[in-house]
Amino acid sequence: MKRHTKIFLGLAIGAVSGVLSNFLFRDSPQLQFIQKYFTDPAGKIFLNFLIMMVIPLVFASLSLGVAQIGDLKKLGRIGLKTISYFFVVTAFAVTIGLILVNVIKPGNFLPEETKTELMSSFQNQATEIKTTSENIEFGIQTFVNIVPRNPVAAIAKPNPEMLALIFFSLIVGIALTIIDKDKAAPLIKLLEGINDITVVVINIAMKFAPIGVFALIFSVTSRFGYDLLVALSMYVVTVLLGLTIHLIFSYSFLLKFATKYNPIKFFKKIETVVLTAFSTSSSSATLPTTISVSQTNLGIPKQITGFVLPLGATMNMNGTALFEGVTVLFLAQVFGVNLSIGMQLIVILMSVLTAIGSAGVPSGSIPLLVMVLAMVNVPPEGIAIILGVDRLLDMCRTVLNVTGDITCAAYITKSEGFELKE
Ligand code: ASP
């Protein structure tokens, strides 16, 4: 049986048994016992196993990617193309979301009593997130922090500063292309070794993927408040519709016309990545799979996967940006805050910037989203209203985030004159 079939089975069995347990045994001590002692720890171990390799992988693959591109002019060209692609396609994604939320107006469908109920049930979580978001320094300091004074300190924390790691890795890669070849060779060998080790470790982790995915999905579906899905249905539909339009139309359009690659074939080849992103809700945890599937199934050259994909996992979050835009406007509608076109343009800009700054972990974007709410005068504690359905939306937006990275890598490959594997 193929790996993605096994993962899909894990996902399907996890979803069916989770939903059934939710309906039959919700809040029973037995179910809580299973969640607490079996599925939660199993899911976390699987996620940690994958995320554990992300820092060495980003460092090794980015600096190697840069060193392999070799020529600084070529690096500048690929870098500029990649970053421009991220900005343009992410802004396009938010625009789709904003058009939908203005047309559907999901905020007008939320009854006052549901709003009050949600605000009080998720009040504690919302206050915690609000405190985290108040401590985020977003502004000029964010740009200053991209150049880390101490690269080890920047990553040695629960939420590593990925942009600082990216900067450090890029600079090391650039230096490797400048120094004498024989002096660069030992470090290049070492980086190749680290890369190969991550591949092996991830392969070991992915052997457990069907069980890990089962556990993650069971934990989510057996706890999920399905009644919330009904109460927030118009909001959920708006986000999911936006994500689907961006996935089916924008990505397919880019693949077909800019990359000249059949979109259906493309998505078939990256099934494992889609399943991993959906079940882990984490671009970072999916990164190793994203890199290996792009190389093996699509034939994207190592220098491009090594450069574009680690950057993309941190900076290119189309699904997250779209979700942020929709959520800000939805909550503005709920609280009766009128956002002018000018303000909505600020929402687009802020959604793009905060999506770049979001950590690629489950709910990584929520504290930054709360910051945007406060910025446009929507009560930030209103985040409580959507917290109950966030995980479901997170699973879907992470799929967009990750598939967007591969779409970009495929485009860069083609535009640099390489062929993709048919
Ligand atoms: N979970 C998302 C990711 O890892 C980030 C977010 O939208 O919260 O890509």
* Residue 360 to residue 317: CA distance in whole angstroms: 9
Instruction: Tell me which CATH code domain 3-415 carries.
Output: 1.10.3860.10
Ligand 1 pocket, residue 394 CB under 6 Å:
yes
Q: Which two tokens stand for residue 218?
A: 């069971």
For residue 190, report the distance from its CA to the centre of ligand 1, in Å.
31
For residue 212, report the distance from its CA to the centre of ligand 1, in Å.
19
What single letter denotes the amino acid at residue 421?
K
Ligand 1 pocket, residue 63 CB under 6 Å:
no
* Buried b or exposed e, range 77-101, using 16+ CB within 10 angstroms: ebbebbeebbeebbbbbbbbbbebb
Best probe residue, ligand 1, of 47, 283, 403 (max atoms within 8 Å of C-beta) = 283
Query: Do residues 321 and 355 touch, judged by C-beta distance below 8 A?
Result: yes
* Residue 294 to residue 261: CA distance in whole angstroms: 14
DSSP assignment string, 356-416 = HHS-SSTTTTHHHHHHHHHHTTS-GGGGHHHHHHHHHHHHHHHHHHHHHHHHHHHHHHHHT
Residue owning the nearest CA to atom 7 of ligand 1: 320
For residue 367, report the distance from its CA to the centre of ligand 1, in Å.
11
For residue 88, the model assigns a pLDDT of 97
For residue 277, the model assigns a pLDDT of 96
Interval 199-233: pLDDT, tens: 899 999 999 999 999 999 999 999 988 888 888 99
For residue 268, report the distance from its CA to the centre of ligand 1, in Å.
23
For residue 359, report the distance from its CA to the centre of ligand 1, in Å.
7
Query: Do residues 361 and 54 touch, judged by C-beta distance below 8 A?
Result: no
Residue 365 CA: which ligand 1 atom is closest? 8
Phi then psi for residue 300, to 5 deg, are: -75, 130
For residue 317, report the distance from its CA to the centre of ligand 1, in Å.
8
Residue 364 CA: which ligand 1 atom is closest? 8
Q: Using CA of residue 154, residue 159, residue 164, residue 167, what is the dihedral sign?
A: positive
* Residue 229 to residue 379: CA distance in whole angstroms: 22
Best probe residue, ligand 1, of 282, 318, 353, 358 (max atoms within 8 Å of C-beta) = 358
Q: Using CA of residue 191, residue 208, residue 301, residue 306, what is the dihedral sign?
A: negative
* Buried b or exposed e, range 202-215, using 16+ CB within 10 angstroms: beebbeebbbbbbb
Residue by residue, pLDDT tens for the chain (422 residues) are 788 899 999 999 999 999 999 999 988 999 999 999 999 999 999 999 999 999 999 999 999 999 988 888 999 999 999 999 999 999 999 999 999 999 999 999 888 888 998 888 898 899 989 888 887 777 788 889 899 999 999 999 888 999 999 999 999 999 999 999 999 999 999 999 999 999 899 999 999 999 999 999 999 999 988 888 888 999 999 999 999 999 999 999 999 999 999 999 999 999 999 999 999 999 999 999 999 999 999 999 999 999 999 999 999 999 999 999 999 999 999 999 999 999 999 999 999 999 998 999 999 999 999 999 999 999 999 999 999 999 999 999 999 999 999 999 999 999 999 999 98
pTM: 0.92
For residue 399, report the distance from its CA to the centre of ligand 1, in Å.
9
Closest CA to 401 of 336, 344, 281, 317: 317
